Amino acid sequence: MTALVLKIIALISMFCDHVGYVIIGHTSFFNFIGRIAFPIFAFQISEGYIHTKNIKKYTIRLGIFAIISQIPFTLFTHKYINPNSTTLNVFFTLFLGLIAIYLYDWTIKTLSNNKKDEKITKKALSLIIIQVIGIIFVLLIGYIAEKLNTDYGMWGVIVIAAFYIFKKNQALTVIAFILLCAIKYSIRIIQNGYNIETIILCIFTMISIMFISLYNGKQGKKIKYVIYLFYPLHLLLLYFIQ
Identify the pLDDT of residue 85. Answer: 85
Please give the Cα distance from 160 to 90 (Å, whole number).
12
Digit-by-digit pLDDT tens for the chain (242 residues) are 899 999 999 999 999 999 999 998 777 899 999 999 999 999 999 999 999 999 999 999 999 999 999 999 999 999 999 888 899 999 999 999 999 999 999 998 887 775 555 555 555 667 888 889 999 999 999 999 999 999 999 999 999 999 999 999 999 999 999 999 999 999 999 998 888 999 999 999 999 999 999 999 888 777 778 889 999 999 999 999 86
pLDDT given at position 22: 93
User: What DSSP string runs through 190-222?
Assistant: HHH---HHHHHHHHHHHHHHHHHHT--S---S-
Q: What is the pLDDT of residue 215?
A: 94
Separation of alpha carbons 97 and 137, rounded Å: 11
DSSP state of 138: H
Domain layout of the chain by residue ranges? 3-240
Nearest to 112 by CA among 99, 123, 101, 100: 123
Check residue 114 and give its pLDDT.
59
Question: The whole model's pTM is what?
Answer: 0.92
Residue closest to 138 by CA, chosen among 172, 107, 92:
107
